[in-house]
Structure 1
Amino acid sequence: MKQALNKVSSIEEVDHLFFDGMTLMYGGFGGVGSPPTLIEAIKQKGVSQLKLIGNDTGFPHIGIGKIVSLGRVSHIITSHIGSNPIAGQLMTDGRMAVEFSPQGILAERIRAGGMGLPGILSDIAIDNDIVQKGKVFCEIAEKRYMVETALTADISIVYAKKADTFGNLIFDKSARNTNPLCAMAGDITIAEVEEIVPVGSLQAEEIITPGVFVDYIIQSEGVDWKWAWQ
């Protein structure tokens, strides 16, 4: 029997993966569940012209907001930006393009990307001129739908409560949110975790994301979002 692959790495070992203009997908909701150590590493490397895909823009100093607020993002696909006023100003000034996608549709587009599907069909806001712009339509059983394209990324960064060395992941409560979906949709997926345990330590039924979707595991150095909702 072959020994399970050990995917535990350090920030230094994955730093070379981040590059200017990359498409980066991230888990989290208002910063909760976003991987702070990885986000800080991307910030420190100084990469720019990023194309982001994620639920929101965090807060100015929490989550992905740390990078957004520095003006290093050229384009973002997200469900809302209201918790980060700097993101709103960047959009208004024309310095960051924002594509809004309803939260459920956004999650399904990410899931479709992870499943290898080209997109999903939706009739949400189908009569809205803003939502319709640039969309392809089709008709099934005499009902009209919009085609919402699937989403993938060069790199997905996710945050988990626990992982074994193969990359099987467990998420904690609301920090689970979009993380399992994002883990599936990246060409490369890096998981930042609070606790790393040997293969065989996790019960099969508690694993949310199988290790086959994870390429690298990073030990978290602590979170910056625990006070965000206090």
Structure 2
Amino acid sequence: MKKIQNDAASALDGLLFDGMTIMAGGFGLCGIPENLIVAIRDSGVKDLTVISNNAGVDDFGLGLLLQTRQVKKMLSSYVGENKEFERQYLSGELELEFNPQGTLAERCRAGGAGIPGFYTKTGVGTRIAEGKEHKEFNGETYILETGLVADLAIVKAWKGDEQGNLIYRRTARNFNADMATAGKVTVAEVEEIVPLGSLDPNNIHTPSVFVHRIVKGEFEKRIEKVTTRERETA
């Protein structure tokens, strides 16, 4: 199977359908698969359930799919930088399942590891725990969370080789490594594709067995929120 694709649209060819669930790696705007997100927008696929730490900003990242009303439901842990997300949620146009950030990461990791559920203390006694199974271990109360699996996982890596072994760079490792294992199909966009054998096996974060297609992207790497201060003068 040829893994290297010419562009993001080709990398997603035949994989998209209405009503599907997509995992999208990234944290804020760091390490997001921005080329694949644009290709999903341009495809016109709709009624999506998207699992991601956040929804990007209004005009970049997953915010592009909110602009076009292609997302039906979000599973996220933070959505505070997106006004359109806020508007759609408060008006009842968008379903939202909030997750504590560590719980969301573990749900993705568990799904990729074939673990259907796990117990955690996080969220006990809050709205997060409503409707979930409670169980005591050693006198402490825990709630049951389920592992997550998606029809498609889209991730962004720093380097990938011709077989799809991936290395993430610093903060961009975030949710990408967990989500790469939890997609029925995983598509990776990378900054650089190197020959097989170029990557140190000890430094590979996602083995090629989890990656079905890979594409080299062009990245804007936008800053989510620019904060500056007045220059001090003597």
Q: Is the TM-score greater than 0.5? A: yes
For this structure pair, what is the TM-score category when the shorter chain's length is used for normalisation? over 0.9
| CA shift for structure 1 position 224 | 3.2
Distance 1:18 1:218 in 2: 16
* Aligned residue among 69, 72, 76 for 1:71: 69
SS in 1 for 2:28: coil
Distance 1:56 1:15 in 2: 25
What is the Cα-based RMSD across aligned positions, in Å?
1.3
Structure 2 partner of 1:29 = 27
Does the 8 Å contact 2:158/2:166 carry over to 1?
Answer: yes
Q: TM-score, normalised by structure 1?
A: 0.93
Deviations 1:76-129 (A, max 9, x none): 11001111010011000111000100101100111000100012211123112x
SS in 2 for 1:159: strand
Does the 8 Å contact 1:6/1:165 carry over to 2?
Answer: no
Distance 1:6 1:12 in 2: 12
Q: TM-score, normalised by structure 2?
A: 0.91
Distance 1:223 1:61 in 2: 15
Structure 1 partner of 2:119 = 121
Structure 1 partner of 2:219 = 223
Does the 8 Å contact 1:31/1:64 carry over to 2?
Answer: no
Structure 2 partner of 1:100 = 98
* Percent identity for Structure 1 against Structure 2: 41
Give 4+ residue runs of structure 1 displaced > 3 Å after superposition.
none
Gapped regions of structure 2 (runs ≥ 5): 227-234
SS in 2 for 1:16: coil
Q: Which amino acid aligns with 2:169?
A: D
Distance 1:59 1:136 in 2: 34
Gapped regions of structure 1 (runs ≥ 5): none
Structure 1 partner of 2:10 = 12
Greater mean deviation of Cα atoms: 109-118 or 137-146: 137-146
Number of matched residues?
224
| CA shift for structure 1 position 69 | 2.5
Alignment CA distance shift 1:13-1:189 (3 Å): closer
Distance 1:14 1:206 in 2: 27
Structure 2 partner of 1:211 = 208
Distance 1:122 1:70 in 2: 36
Structure 1 partner of 2:167 = 170
Deviations 1:103-160 (A, max 9, x none): 01100111000100012211123112x1222211222233221001111100000000
Distance 2:202 2:65 in 1: 36
Distance 2:46 2:79 in 1: 19
